[in-house]
Every structure is written in structure tokens, then in C-alpha cells.
């Protein structure tokens, strides 16, 4: 297979995952609208408190498994050691099932103990205590997601992202429907029960996603059997202990790095509560501000990052296979494509959110539209979170799994003093958490990027990756701002002005990038009808 074809395969994998990621994020937006408009900022605060605790347990149980399994399977398939690839799946399933079951039970029991403490101490109105119902509904989900992680990692190791993508979409659809339905059914018992209804949908969605993956596994059994039948058996089969050891060797640093990032959410929860109280805010206001931070800022700024997440997921097994074969030539192309596409999505997204932060919130959450300043100030974090994720994916693909964990630790340590000082300033308050998060991502992404360049010897295309997207985004931002003001002046309807401005901004950005010749063929192959667009630009001699 030629290097071009190998890179095309990686691009297609990333494109499928990116498309699924966009659909999942859009569905997430759609269901968060009625959910937020029903449970409000206070309900979002309770929802976020419970979800962040659940997310930490989830990370500890299975966060590193898809990365580890996909990389290990890809390496064995590259060496045509099909027997070992098959054994990796079986051992991983036993390990993941045991580990995720343990953490699911630990979370359920811990929630029960904490719930009894809240009742005994009379602190049931505290945001942490109100989140116990969310934790009860989320505990079984840990086991389901742990099993799901094995299937996704296994399929990704075969360098196919269709099962993962389809399962993500189905999972989110079920999540959306049941989260809203249960929140509306349970809100009558109190806002904490409405929030718990929202989290209950997470488990139902995960179960639906797992069912899709199991169906794919059954349907593709015949093709895998034919592949495994061609095994030459001229190698030594690895023992279960060896596989488990290698699995942990890769997964533990990934889990550590992800857990450190997750701990920053706990840092926010603890410090937002205490430092806002020090600034003179009451409990109800603190709960609402925390809900704005997680339900609006986090939700909006992480949507564009779904693209970089997809690319990072696709690049790990692809680069691992190339490195295993000693075929380093495609690595430069894959890294360039991954970095360039990530930045040409995240830079304009950050610019657009910075310009239209408040109008977007007013459009999406008409009943609870506060928090626009968080979006405006924190929009730049999109760029550095995306860069951090894609550089993490490349480093994990080449075997440098400890580096992202150390970078995450440095970022988290820098975040704490920023939080402590800024949140307690009344005029800054919750925006301090946004600023500290941005600083955390900046530190992490820079350290990762330096390590990536040193480890791979790759010379990134800085012009295509940074200069052209930034120049186009600046023009786009100015056009977006002017368009919103002009449309709103003629038709003073925020939703209409916002949507027209977004459409105009996308068109302006695309046209400027075309004029700057900022798109490579691989970039456009990742979007629907990209082939026709490439042909059109080539006829116009713009590519």
C-alpha cells in the first residue's frame, strides 16, 4: 500500500469519527436546550456536580482502554500476529469488566454513605448533597461504558471507525430522549430530581450504544474469522499476563493524564464554592454560577473540540501501525494533516464564540441566558484544548504515553493559584475559573507540542496550521460582528441575527481560506462532498 493510500485511510477514519462527533454534539445541544430551560442554572450546577464525580470514576475504570487496545491490536495486525490480536480482546474484556464493575460498586456504595452523612449533618441543601441522586443513576453506567470501551478500542485497532461512530450517535440519541423525558417527569419532586433525570438518560444511552457495538461484533465475525484463518502461526502467543501487563503499561499513564484533567473539575467545584463564598456570594448564586460554567461555557466550547477528539482517536492506531512497521514516512503527513485540520476548525470556532458568545446564549437558552461573558473570555481555550488533545493522540500513537500525563499535571498545578486569586475577586468571580482553565490548556498544549516535535522530528507546517487559519479567522470575526449588528439593526430578532451571522461567518472563512490556498486535499476529504469541492477548486486553479 502506498503512503498516499495509507494517509487516505487515516483521513477517512478521522472523517467518519468527526462526522459522528459533530452529530453527537449537535444532538447534545438540542437536548440541553429543553433540559436547561426546565431545570435552570441551579439544576445545571447539580447535574454538573454529579456528572464530574461520575466522570472521575469512569476515567479511573476505563479511560485508557480504547487507546491501549486500539494501539496494541493495530501493532499486532501490522505484524500479522492475528492470534495475539484475538487474545488481546479476550484479556481486555475480562480486565475491563472486572475493573469497571469494581468502580461502579464503589461509586454506588460511596454515594450511599455520603447520602447518609448529608442527612445526618442536615446539609442536604448543599450542591454536593443535592447531587447524590445524580450519582445513584450514574453508577451502573460505569460498568456499561467499561465494556463498551473494549469493543471500541478493538474495532479502532482494525482501523475502522464505523462501529464506534454509529454507536456514539445511537448512544446520544437515546441519551437525549430519555434525559429530557425523565427530567420533565421527575422535576416535580425537586430540582435535584430533575437533574437526576437528566443523568439517568446517560446510562440508557450507553446501554443502547453497547448493543450497537455487540451487533457489529457479531455481524463482522465471519470476516475476522477469514483473516485469522490466514495466520501463519510463526510467532509466540503472548500469555494473558503479558497482555494485561502491556495493557496497563499503556492505559495507566493515559488514565493518569485524563484523571488529572478531571481533577481540575474537582478543583473548580471546591474552589468555586469556597472562593465565591469568600467574595460574598450566597449558596443559590454560587450554584447558578457553577451551572453557567458547566452547562454553558463547557458545553459550548467543547463542541468544536469534537473534531480534534475524532482526529486524535483515528491517529493513534494509524501512527502506531506505521511505527511498528518502521515506516516513518507517513508519520509526517499524518501529523501535518491532524494538526492542520484541528487548527483550521478550532481557530475560527474560538473567534466566532468570542464574537457571538452572548447572542448564542440568548438564542439557545432564552429563559436562562446569563453567562455570555464566560463564553467571550474563554473562547480562546478552544484552540489550546484542541491542540492539547491532538498532540496527546500523536504522542500516544508513538508510545510516549507518559508525556501527556506530565503535561496535564503541570497545567493543573498552574490552574490552582489562578483559581484561588481570581475567583475571590467580586468583579471577576466565576470568570476566574474560565481564565484558569484557559491557562491550564495553554501550558498543557505547549508542553505536549514541544515533546511531539522532539519525539517525532516532524517539522509542523506552521503556515498552514496557524498563519492562514488565523488570518482567515480575523477577517471572519470582523465580518461576523458587522453582520450581526447590521441584521439586528434591520430585524431586531436575536435568533435570526445570530443564525445569519454564523452562516455569513462560515462562508467568509471558507472563501478567505480558499484565496489564501489554506486547504490541502486531505483537509477537504474530511467533509461531505469533499471530492466534488476539490475538483471544483482544481478547475478554478485554487488548489
Q: What is the pLDDT of residue 504?
A: 95
pLDDT of residue 388: 87
pLDDT for 81 beyond 80: yes
Average pLDDT of span 162-186? 93
pLDDT above 50 (res 483)? yes
Cβ pair 387, 447 in contact under 8 A? no
What's the pLDDT at 530?
Answer: 65
Q: What are the angstrom distances between the C-alpha of 122 and each of 116, 125, 136, 322, 525?
A: 10, 8, 20, 59, 59
Contacts of 502 (CB under 8 A, 6+ apart): 352, 356, 480
- Other beta carbons within 10 Å of 151: 25
Nearest to 47, CA basis, from 307, 299, 222, 331: 299
47-57 confidence digits (pLDDT tens): 888 888 898 89
- Other C-beta atoms closer than 10 Å to the C-beta of 258 total 22
Residue 252 has pLDDT above 90, yes or no: no
What does the pLDDT read at residue 447?
93
pLDDT at 7 over 60: no
Question: pTM of the predicted model, to two decimals?
Answer: 0.73
Cβ(267)–Cβ(412) below 8 Å: yes
C-alpha cell at 288: 447558578
* Weakest-pLDDT range from 60-64, 107-111, 348-352: 60-64
Map 45-100 to HEC letters.
HHHHHHHHHHHHHHHHHHCCHHHHHHHHHHHHHHCCCHHHHHHHHHHHHHHHHHHH
* Range 424-454 burial, b when 16+ CB lie within 10 A, else e: beeebbbbbbbbbbbbbbbbbbbbbbebbee
The reported pLDDT for the residue numbered 14 is 67
Is the confidence at residue 340, as pLDDT, over 90? no
- What's residue 3's pLDDT? 47
DSSP 294-361: IIIIIHHHTSTHHHHHHHHHHHHHHHHHHHHTT--HHHHHHHHHHHHHHHHHHHHHHHHHHHHHHHHH
CA atoms within 13 A of residue 158's CA, in its CB half-sphere: 22
Q: Which of 299, 417, 308 is nearest to 364 (CA)?
A: 299
Of 395, 421, 370, nearest in space to 67 by CA: 395
- Over residues 12-30, the pLDDT tens digits come to 666 677 777 778 877 877 8
pLDDT at site 302: 80
Q: Average pLDDT of the chain?
A: 85
Does residue 187 have a pLDDT over 80? Answer: yes
Taking residues 83-108, report their average pLDDT: 93
Mean pLDDT of the 129-147 span:
93
Q: Is the pLDDT of residue 329 over 50?
A: yes
- CA nearest to 254, candidates 73, 455, 401, 99: 401
C-alpha 42, offset from chain centre: 24
Q: How many residues does the chain have?
A: 543
- Lowest-pLDDT range, 245-249, 324-328, 371-375, 424-428? 324-328
Residue 414, Cα to own-chain centre: how many angstroms?
Answer: 22
Cα-atom radius of gyration of the chain, to the nearest Å?
23
Burial tier of 204 (Cβ tally within 10 Å: 0-12, 13-18, 19+): buried
Taking alpha carbons only, the member of 466, 451, 522 closest to residue 343 is 466
Cα–Cα distances in angstroms (integers) from residue 76 to residues 89, 93, 220, 246, in the given order: 12, 17, 19, 13
3-state secondary structure of 428: coil
Mean predicted confidence (pLDDT) in 82-109: 93
Integer CA distances (angstroms), 334 to 19, 229, 391, 424, in order: 19, 31, 12, 44
Domain boundaries, the chain: 3-460, 462-543
Position 6 pLDDT exceeds 70:
no
Distance CA 184, CA 272 (A): 28
pLDDT bin (cut points 50, 70, 90) of residue 79 is confident
Residue that the C-alpha cell 491550564 belongs to? 440
The reported pLDDT for the residue numbered 8 is: 52
Average pLDDT over residues 227-234: 80
Q: Please tell me which residue, 336 or 15, carries the higher pLDDT value.
A: 336
Average pLDDT rounded to a whole number, residues 423-450: 91
- Mean pLDDT lowest among 54-58, 211-215, 473-477: 54-58
pLDDT at 303: 77
- Which of helix, strand or coil describes residue 520? coil
Residues 130-145, mean pLDDT to the nearest whole number: 93
Distance CA 78, CA 330 (A): 15
Amino acid at each position: 500500500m502506498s503512503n498516499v493510500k495509507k494517509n487516505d485511510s487515516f483521513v477517512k477514519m478521522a472523517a467518519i469519527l468527526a462526522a459522528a462527533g459533530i452529530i453527537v454534539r449537535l444532538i447534545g445541544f438540542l437536548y440541553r436546550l429543553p433540559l436547561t430551560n426546565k431545570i435552570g442554572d441551579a439544576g445545571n450546577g447539580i447535574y454538573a456536580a454529579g456528572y464530574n464525580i461520575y466522570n472521575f470514576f469512569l476515567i479511573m475504570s476505563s479511560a485508557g482502554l480504547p487507546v491501549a487496545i486500539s494501539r496494541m491490536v493495530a501493532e499486532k495486525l501490522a505484524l500479522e500476529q492475528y492470534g495475539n490480536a484475538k487474545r488481546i480482546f479476550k484479556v481486555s474484556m475480562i480486565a475491563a469488566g472486572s475493573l469497571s464493575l469494581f468502580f461502579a460498586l464503589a461509586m454506588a456504595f460511596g454515594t450511599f454513605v455520603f447520602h447518609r452523612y448529608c442527612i445526618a449533618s442536615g446539609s442536604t441543601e448543599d450542591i454536593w448533597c443535592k447531587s447524590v441522586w445524580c450519582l445513584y443513576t450514574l453508577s451502573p453506567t460505569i460498568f456499561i461504558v467499561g465494556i463498551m470501551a473494549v469493543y471500541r478500542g478493538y474495532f479502532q485497532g482494525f482501523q475502522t471507525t464505523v462501529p464506534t461512530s454509529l454507536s456514539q450517535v445511537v448512544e446520544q440519541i437515546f441519551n437525549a430522549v430519555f434525559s429530557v423525558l425523565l427530567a420533565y417527569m421527575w422535576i416535580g419532586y425537586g430540582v435535584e430530581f430533575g437533574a437526576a433525570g437528566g443523568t439517568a438518560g446517560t446510562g440508557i444511552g450507553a446501554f443502547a450504544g453497547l448493543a450497537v457495538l455487540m451487533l457489529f461484533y457479531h455481524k463482522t465475525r465471519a470476516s475476522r474469522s477469514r483473516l485469522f484463518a490466514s495466520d501463519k502461526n510463526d510467532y509466540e502467543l503472548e500469555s494473558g499476563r503479558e497482555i494485561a501487563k502491556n495493557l496497563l503499561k499503556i492505559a495507566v499513564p493515559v488514565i493518569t493524564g485524563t484523571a488529572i484533567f478531571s481533577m481540575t473539575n474537582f478543583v473548580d467545584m471546591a474552589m468555586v464554592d469556597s472562593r465565591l463564598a469568600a467574595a460574598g456570594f450566597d449558596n443559590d448564586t454560587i450554584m447558578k454560577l457553577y451551572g453557567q460554567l458547566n452547562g454553558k461555557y463547557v458545553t459550548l466550547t467543547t463542541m468544536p473540540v469534537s473534531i480534534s477528539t475524532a482526529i486524535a482517536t483515528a491517529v493513534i492506531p494509524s501512527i502506531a501501525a506505521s511505527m511498528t512497521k518502521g515506516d516513518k514516512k507517513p508519520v509526517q503527513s499524518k501529523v501535518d494533516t491532524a494538526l492542520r485540520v484541528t487548527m483550521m476548525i478550532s481557530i475560527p470556532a474560538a473567534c466566532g464564540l468570542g464574537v457571538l458568545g452572548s447572542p448564542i446564549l440568548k438564542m439557545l437558552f432564552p429563559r436562562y441566558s446569563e453567562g455570555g461573558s464566560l463564553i467571550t473570555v474563554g473562547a480562546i481555550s478552544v484552540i489550546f484544548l484542541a491542540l492539547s488533545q491532538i498532540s496527546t493522540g500523536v504522542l500516544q500513537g508513538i508510545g510516549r504515553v507518559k508525556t501527556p500525563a506530565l503535561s496535564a499535571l503541570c497545567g493543573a498545578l498552574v490552574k490552582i493559584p489562578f483559581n484561588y486569586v481570581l475567583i475571590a475577586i467580586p468583579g471577576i468571580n466565576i470568570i476566574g475559573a474560565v481564565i484558569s482553565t484557559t491557562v491550564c490548556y495553554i501550558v498543557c498544549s505547549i508542553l505536549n507540542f514541544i515533546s511531539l516535535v522532539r519525539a517525532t522530528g516532524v517539522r509542523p507546517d506552521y503556515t498552514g496550521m496557524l498563519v492562514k487559519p488565523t488570518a482567515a479567522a480575523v477577517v471572519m470575526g470582523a465580518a461576523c460582528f458587522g453582520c450581526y449588528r447590521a441584521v439586528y439593526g434591520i430585524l431586531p430578532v436575536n435568533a435570526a441575527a445570530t443564525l445569519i451571522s454564523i452562516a455569513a461567518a462560515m462562508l467568509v472563512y471558507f472563501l478567505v481560506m480558499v484565496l489564501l490556498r489554506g486547504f490541502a486535499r486531505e483537509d477537504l476529504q474530511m467533509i461531505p462532498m469533499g471530492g466534488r469541492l476539490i475538483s471544483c477548486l482544481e478547475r478554478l486553479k485554487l488548489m
